[in-house]
Structure 1
Amino acid sequence: MLRWTVIFIVLAIIAGIFGFGGIAAGAASIAKVLFFIFLVLFVISLISGRTKV
């Protein structure tokens, strides 16, 4: 999932450089959502891994 976030961030940067505002905003918002989902899943896995020990 982190790989998809990086792909959408790069897509947003490239689209922003070339002036495609709508595409850049869309890709940036998708990247932001995926990053927060990844972050939540990471914290959950840390907590669940700690309790199994």
Structure 2
Amino acid sequence: MLHYAVVFFIIALIAALFGFGGIAAGAAGIAKILFFVFLVLAVAGLIVNLLRGRG
């Protein structure tokens, strides 16, 4: 999922470079959402892993 966030970020940078503001904003928004979803899933996985190791 982090890979997709990076891909959308690169698409946003390229679109901004060529002056496509709307496309760049949309791609950056998608990249931001995917990054935060990845972050939440990574923290949840870490917590579950710590709880399993304890019991």
Smaller-chain TM-score bracket? over 0.9
Structure number with bigger Rg: 2
Q: How many residues align?
A: 53
Q: Which runs of 5+ in 2 are unaligned?
A: none
Which residue number corresponds to residue 20 of structure 2? 20
Which residue number corresponds to residue 42 of structure 2? 42
Q: Which runs of 5+ in 1 are unaligned?
A: none
RMSD, matched Cα:
0.3
Which residue number corresponds to residue 5 of structure 1? 5
Runs of 4+ that moved beyond 2 A: none
The Cα of 1:36 is off from its aligned counterpart by 0.3
- Distance in 1 (alpha carbons) for counterparts of 2:21 and 2:38: 26
The Cα of 1:9 is off from its aligned counterpart by 0.2
- Distance in 1 (alpha carbons) for counterparts of 2:52 and 2:20: 48
What percent identity do the matched residue pairs reach? 58
